[in-house]
A = this chain, B = another copy of it.
Amino acid sequence: MSLKYGILGLLNQTPMTGYNLKKLFDKSINHIWTASLSQIYRELTILEKEGYVSSHIQEQDDRPDKKIYSISDEGRTAFREWLKNFSDTFISPKRDEFMLRLFFGINLGKAEVRKQLERFIDDRKKSIIELNENEKLISQLTCAGDNGDKDCKSEEELYLRFVLKRALMTNQVLIQWAEEYIKELDF
């Protein structure tokens, strides 16, 4: 239901191709909402049928032609309508295959669980490094040029940091959690 609005929200900032949307998804919304290319292409054709977006072809010689999508007024209205109507509950579907396996840990044995938790920790640490790099990039991008110090932090930047920070903090706490459990396994 919300992939639609994720796409509209990004097109609301600037017109783009499907391929481009996918890259933006991966860079910004990825910690919140994942989408595959084929999903995006399909959704775009639906959105065009519904009149929420329109497209035009931009020819290129060296690379395949681009199909650039722009949001329509109806699309903008629909997006804003969705945006402000927060649902009462915060429940989101969860599908964490890794945790599902760990939950059945009694069938795995402590040694295996321990090994997997250690792998998990390593992976969280790698994510944290990446996230920190992303954060640096954001500052450079939005603070580029001739800005001073304090005005540099734009509101748009704030919301990007928002998501990154959340991912960072949860990764950190997950490391803590896993370390605690490794200790408990040894009791």
- Which residue of B has the minimal Cβ distance to A171? B173
Contact with B along A135-148 (1 / 0, CB 8 A): 00000000000000
A33 touching B83 in the complex, CB below 8 Å, given contacts A102-B159, A165-B177: no
Contact between chains at A84 and B108 (CB < 8 Å): yes
Q: Would you list which residues of chain A between 136 and 187 have a CB under 8 Å from chain B? A: 153, 155-156, 158-159, 162-163, 165-166, 169-170, 172-174, 176-177, 180-181, 184-185, 187
- In the complex, residue of chain B having the shortest beta-carbon distance to the beta carbon of A97: B2
Q: Which residues of B contact A110 (CB under 8 A)?
A: 155
How many copies of this kind of chain does the complex include? 2
Given known contacts A165-B180, A166-B177, A159 and B105 CB-to-CB distance under 8 angstroms: yes
Which residue numbers of A lie inside 8 Å of B, CB to CB? 1-2, 5-6, 9, 12, 28-34, 79-80, 83-84, 86-87, 89-90, 92-108, 110, 112, 116, 119-120, 123, 153, 155-156, 158-159, 162-163, 165-166, 169-170, 172-174, 176-177, 180-181, 184-185, 187
